[in-house]
Chain A
Amino acid sequence: MTTASVRTTSPKRRLGDVVFANLTRTAGALILVSLAGVAIFLTSEGLPAFGAKAGELQGHDNFLAYVAPLVFGTILAAVIALVIATPLALGVALAVSHYAPRRIATAIGYVIDLLAAVPSVVYGLWGIGFLGPKLIPIYQWLDEHLGFIPLFKGPASPTGRTIFTVGIVLAIMVLPIITAITREIFSQTPRLNEEAALALGATRWEMVRLSVLPYGRSGIVSAAMLGLGRALGETMAVALVLSASGVVTFNLISSTNPSTIAANIALSFPDSTGVARNALVASGLVLFVITFIVNFAARAVVARYEPGRKK
């Protein structure tokens, strides 16, 4: 009775609550405003590019023909990165959360977190100076022996600065974020579910399959999507490593590679003017939209898995 009557009277407004509520409201509004600001800038600055004529866009007939290879390259590089990084990250996360002895697990965790702190320009330099050259013999081997697969059609790049190298560099860059998120989720698997599997006579791996992975699957998807987002937008490492020529090809190991939106902007913006500059901004808008779509897709996937877990 008393609780009911207390609840109906309007609650006393405490100063702390009011301040905090307004702070959070402001912060939330600020995010929306800056996001809108970015979108408006990209649209207004990019608009002229949509009506650009042939000759104004690095030899392309219209904006679509200009941006399509860039979109292709962006997505290709990010997908390669994700295909390499996701299984690796899951393996590391599982090793840390369920296999390795605690001391080793913490050490691995630190190293992975350190990887996240390395600036991307360093990865770029490492890609050109070390990884690329090291990969040349492998590309030659792939070209010779697996050349019948379109992915490895060759001719093998003599510098190693291919989209595949970029994919590997990006994979290492997105590894920490995917690992960190999945590790966190795996280690939160309820003890109860793990013991359910073990008590049925599951081996360690079967226990992971029965309880840890199902529990973590929406987390795995969101972690991969966050990684994808980072790979899509990565500029510096790609700009340094990739020897790009604006083609559309699935040939991963040759010296003619598609460029990516972000790298193209970074490389061409300083000495472009007029419509060419508008086109670069417009390509930025396209990247913005792609990132949005990826995020929404991730949310949709997560939401689809969620009901099974919530109930």
Chain B
Amino acid sequence: MAKSIDVSDLNIYYGDFLAVEGVSMTIKARSVTAFIGPSGCGKSTFLRTLNRMHEVIPGAHVEGKVMVDGQSLYDPSVDPVEVRRMIGMVFQRPNPFPTMSIYENVLAGVRLNNKKLSKRDADDLVEKSLQGANLWNEVKDRLNKPGMGLSGGQQQRLCIARAIAVEPQILLMDEPCSALDPISTSAIEDLIHQLKEQYTIVIVTHNMQQAARVSEDTAFFNLAGAGKPGRLIEMNPTKKIFSVPDEEATEAYISGRFG
């Protein structure tokens, strides 16, 4: 069910502006891959090309290849809507649907897939997804309350529950903990540990410790210089990156000697 991703020579544009250049990497199935790098180097931009969310911005486009288990993501015959159903995404800021209850939020994606759910199946799915997101115990007595009434950390876990309710093969997370306190952060990290049994997970983070804690592999992105596009500098097993990285720039960034 989980899938691997192969990227080769990917250039990413906003209109004429080349934001990220020449990325090639392999992301393993059923493991956690972390993206690190300074602000503006294109981590989010690159992540969003992996489920074709990049192109919803007017003028945004890519060159190059992204293969998911042998299927080319940008093939003209591929429907981006289908891609996004298969590859879920969690954003930096929690974004539950403001007018929906907790219950309806979890089901939003499933309802889009036009599945007719019996009340019983819907209840089961909501419970399973919220359990999966470590949120069930906190909200089980108020499933019909608005999702916006939860705390930030709970909202983020609700968004994760919403994303996993459709059983995607890959889960992309863009700084999912950056707005959260240490306790919610650790709840989400625990969750990532559980989820990788089933899903391929890619996570962007500014928190080195977090990358070291949760990921198997780490990719370091950097800007070649002011006004130049971002590039992938190095991708290696996390242990290696944080002890003996191949590149000097990686070493400098991780140890805080940035430049």
Is chain B found bound to chain A in the same assembly?
Answer: yes
Chain B residues in 8 Å Cβ range of A210: 97, 108, 112
Nearest residue in B to A193 (C-beta to C-beta)? Answer: B95
Chain A residues in 8 Å Cβ range of B83: 201
How far apart are the CA atoms of A1 and B83 in the complex, in Å? 56
How far apart are the CA atoms of A197 and B109 in the complex, in Å? 8
In the complex, the answer to whether A192 meets B95 with C-beta atoms within 8 Å is yes
Q: Quick check: is A211 within 8 A (CB to CB) of the other chain? A: yes
Total interface residues on A, CB under 8 Å, equals 22
Q: Quick check: is A25 within 8 A (CB to CB) of the other chain? A: no
How far apart are the CA atoms of A215 and B96 in the complex, in Å? 12
How far apart are the CA atoms of A271 and B99 in the complex, in Å? 55
In the complex, the answer to whether A201 meets B99 with C-beta atoms within 8 Å is no
With contact pairs A308-B146, A311-B149 given, residues A199 and B89 touching in the complex (Cβ less than 8 Å): yes
Q: Quick check: is A267 within 8 A (CB to CB) of the other chain? A: no
Name the distance in Å between A176's Cβ and chain B's nearest Cβ: 27
In the complex, the answer to whether B99 meets A308 with C-beta atoms within 8 Å is yes
Q: Quick check: is A245 within 8 A (CB to CB) of the other chain? A: no
Chain A residues in 8 Å Cβ range of B91: 192, 195-196, 199
Q: Quick check: is B93 within 8 A (CB to CB) of the other chain? A: yes
Name the distance in Å between B100's Cβ and chain A's nearest Cβ: 8
In the complex, the answer to whether B53 meets A195 with C-beta atoms within 8 Å is yes
Name the distance in Å between A34's Cβ and chain B's nearest Cβ: 38
Q: Which of B53, B97, B100, B162 contacts A198 (CB 8 A)?
A: B53
With contact pairs A192-B93, A311-B148 given, residues A200 and B166 touching in the complex (Cβ less than 8 Å): yes
In the complex, the answer to whether A201 meets B112 with C-beta atoms within 8 Å is yes
Chain A residues in 8 Å Cβ range of B51: 199
Q: Which of A195, A202, A215, A217 contacts B81 (CB 8 A)?
A: A202
> For window 197-225 of chain A, which residues contact chain B by CB distance below 8 Å?
197-203, 206, 210-211, 214-215, 217
In the complex, the answer to whether B97 meets A195 with C-beta atoms within 8 Å is no
Total interface residues on B, CB under 8 Å, equals 31
How far apart are the CA atoms of A132 and B149 in the complex, in Å? 53
Name the distance in Å between B216's Cβ and chain A's nearest Cβ: 24
In the complex, the answer to whether A200 meets B162 with C-beta atoms within 8 Å is yes
Chain B residues in 8 Å Cβ range of A200: 84-85, 88, 108-109, 112, 162-163, 166
Q: Quick check: is B40 within 8 A (CB to CB) of the other chain? A: no
In the complex, the answer to whether A308 meets B98 with C-beta atoms within 8 Å is yes
Interface string of B72-99 (1 = CB under 8 A from A): 0000000001111110110101011111
In the complex, the answer to whether B88 meets A206 with C-beta atoms within 8 Å is no
In the complex, the answer to whether A193 meets B112 with C-beta atoms within 8 Å is no
In the complex, the answer to whether A214 meets B56 with C-beta atoms within 8 Å is no
Nearest residue in A to B109 (C-beta to C-beta)? Answer: A200
Closest 4 CB pairs of A and B: A201-B85, A200-B109, A214-B99, A199-B89
List 20 extra interface pairs beyond A199-B51, A200-B109, A214-B97, CB under 8 A.
A102-B58, A190-B95, A196-B159, A198-B84, A199-B163, A200-B84, A200-B162, A201-B83, A201-B112, A201-B113, A206-B112, A210-B97, A210-B108, A210-B112, A211-B97, A214-B100, A217-B99, A308-B146, A309-B98, A311-B146
Q: Give me the interface of B with A, judged by CB distance under 8 Å.
A: 51, 53, 56, 58, 81-86, 88-89, 91, 93, 95-100, 108-109, 112-113, 146, 148-149, 159, 162-163, 166
